[in-house]
Amino acid sequence: MKALVYHGPGSKAWEEVPDPVIEKPTDAIVRVETTTICGTDLHILHGDVPAVTDGRVLGHEGVGTITEVGEAVTDLAVGDRVIISCISSCGKCAYCRKGVYSHCQADEGAPGIGWIFGHLIDGTQAEYVRVSFAETSLYRIPAGLSDERAVLISDILPTGHEIGVRYGQVSPGDVVAVVGAGPVGLAAIVTAGLYGPSRIVAIDLDANRVAQARRFGATDGVVASDADWREQVLAMTDGLGVDVAIEAVGVPATWDMALSLVRPAGHLANVGVHGVPVTFPLDTAWIQNLTITTGLVNTDTTPTLIRLLAQERLDVDGFVSHRFALDDILDAYDTFGRAAETNALKVLLTAG
């Protein structure tokens, strides 16, 4: 089959690789029909995730059709249309029983890490993918839910919702600032609206993304290149600072921005994948009674988000800005990697 293969920082190729096969009784093979490119894939290509080794097939998002199942799989069948979760979980270990699927202890890739696709095992930017623990890592697609909407459940919607909104404890009446209006930032914005904040402020260097954020529930937008960007945000809070700041980029500058916006006793929820350390000025911040959270998505809210999408309670139809054939994945990477020039949000890849 053809797949997008990582060959070290800055190097990737669309090339022939062996077809995946059933390795364990709990496996399934899925024919990938729709996949995407994530900001984390760009972090990998920048060398920010050293656990990804030369020869790894990238990608951790996708929807498709099951073509084969292992002998232990009884709740899924060949022909089922499914969402591939970015987190794989056995459902039985101590962490899975607590709902902390992101740290599944099963021996697949590396014990204690639930994000294995395109990281520790071959991923979804391919014509076929092997899914371990199929019954707890695949979700049937409800009738009427398009692949284009369903694929957003693989990663960005649960990530924005869980690590941004729920960890940030967004509550009715809150002022929420989302630093970074890329796809995962937009996912935080659209799901934050479920909790009734009074304002959601989108902050980004890209004026187009700030404008787009209003389509998904942002009440206000601030372009971060403005010299007075912080003063603009504080003016929306009577100078007190925001109740919740969500960092959705993963670089030191945006971490510093988010930290500078939070009021005393507020929440800072870090969603971005950071490739280098950041500075936390504990000597001055300790007195602010801040709650700071970060983490890898557990996907425990995935079933809820699927229901909300199926009932059209989440307006995500504008998330996909560009569409490519899977064979044109290198062009798709170029477009996504130059988002400031191409106005790319989510880039969709479909099999022929």
Residue range 40-63: mean pLDDT, rounded? 95
Q: Is the pLDDT of residue 332 over 90?
A: yes
What are 147's two structure tokens? 């692949």
Fold classified for 2-155+299-350: Quinone Oxidoreductase; Chain A, domain 1 (3.90.180)
Helical H segments across the chain, by residue range:
39-45, 94-97, 134-137, 147-150, 156-159, 183-192, 207-213, 229-235, 252-261, 282-285, 302-310, 329-337, 339-342
Contacts with 67 (C-beta within 8 Å, 6 or more apart), sequence order: 29, 30, 31, 78, 128
Please provide the size of the chain in residues: 352
Per-residue pLDDT tens over the stretch 137-160: 999 999 999 999 999 999 999 999
Per-residue confidence band for 352, with pLDDT thresholds at 50, 70 and 90: confident
Q: Is the pLDDT of residue 262 over 90?
A: yes
Contact between 167 and 246 (Cβ < 8 Å): no
Q: H/E/C letters for each residue in 275-298?
A: CCCCCCCHHHHHHHCCEEEECCCC
Q: H/E/C letters for each residue in 158-183?
A: HHHHHHHHHCCCCCCCCEEEEECCCH
CA distance 66 to 76: 8
Mean pLDDT of the chain: 96
Residue ranges per structural domain of the chain = 2-155+299-350, 159-294
Architecture category of domain 159-294 in CATH = 3-Layer(aba) Sandwich (3.40)
**Could you tell me the CA-to-CA distances from 308 to 1, 177, 202, 220, 267 in Å, in that order?**
35, 23, 23, 25, 26
Per-residue pLDDT tens over the stretch 226-250: 999 999 999 999 999 999 999 999 9
- Among residues 287, 291, 229, 219, the alpha carbon closest in space to that of 254 is found at 229
Question: pLDDT > 70: what percent of the chain?
Answer: 100
What's the whole-model pTM score? 0.95
Backbone angles phi, psi at 279, to 5 degrees: -100, 130
Backbone angles phi, psi at 12, to 5 degrees: -150, 160
Per-residue confidence band for 108, with pLDDT thresholds at 50, 70 and 90: confident
Q: Is the pLDDT of residue 107 over 90?
A: no
Per-residue confidence band for 109, with pLDDT thresholds at 50, 70 and 90: confident
- Among residues 42, 124, 37, the alpha carbon closest in space to that of 85 is found at 124
Strand partners, 66: 30
Q: Is the pLDDT of residue 192 over 90?
A: yes
Residue range 177-192: mean pLDDT, rounded? 97
Strand partners, 248: none
Question: pLDDT > 90: what percent of the chain?
Answer: 95
Per-residue confidence band for 190, with pLDDT thresholds at 50, 70 and 90: very high
Per-residue b or e along 314-323, where b marks 16 or more CB atoms closer than 10 Å to that residue's CB: bebeebbbbe
What local confidence, expressed as pLDDT, does residue 229 receive? Answer: 98
Per-residue pLDDT tens over the stretch 91-101: 999 999 999 99
